[in-house]
Amino acid sequence: MKKFMSVAFALLISIAGVFAQSSTATLKANKTPEQRAERFTKKMTKELALDAAQQERIKILNLDRFKKLEDARSAAAVSKKEVAAKVKQVNEEYFSNVKGVLTPEQFTKFQEMKEEMKEKAFTKKQGKL
């Protein structure tokens, strides 16, 4: 009986973990470009102390970027290499435009923020492997 309870408990824990992971991935995947742009604009406003004019311009740039990225990733019959090239192009254009909106100090901080996000994404990806 003790052995049965241990196995049942282990099974319950593993099932709960699977559901928790899948629901988090689903929530992230279901965000619209508008929601992503809004969220990232808020983060940038907080981290970089954007003024109202900068915030509005950044919001437009973020929305444009996330729409283009979604289009690139959802294009039918496109190879991974083509998607990666399109994503790189969209990001380069975005960073060039952002540089024109931010002050030099803000842009330096933005680059640091970008590196932190890269590291966090890499760590998450490593954890999944």
- pLDDT tens-digit readout, 55-107: 999 999 999 999 999 998 887 667 888 889 999 999 999 999 999 999 999 99
Here the tokens at position 107 are: 């842009």
Q: Residue 98: is it exposed, middle or buried by C-beta count within 10 angstroms (0-12/13-18/19+)?
A: buried
Give residue 17's domain range.
1-30
pTM confidence score: 0.71
Quick one: pLDDT at residue 2?
A: 63
Task: Tally the domains of the chain.
Answer: 2
Is residue 109 located within the same domain as residue 55? yes
Q: Which residue has the higher pLDDT, 67 or 124?
A: 67
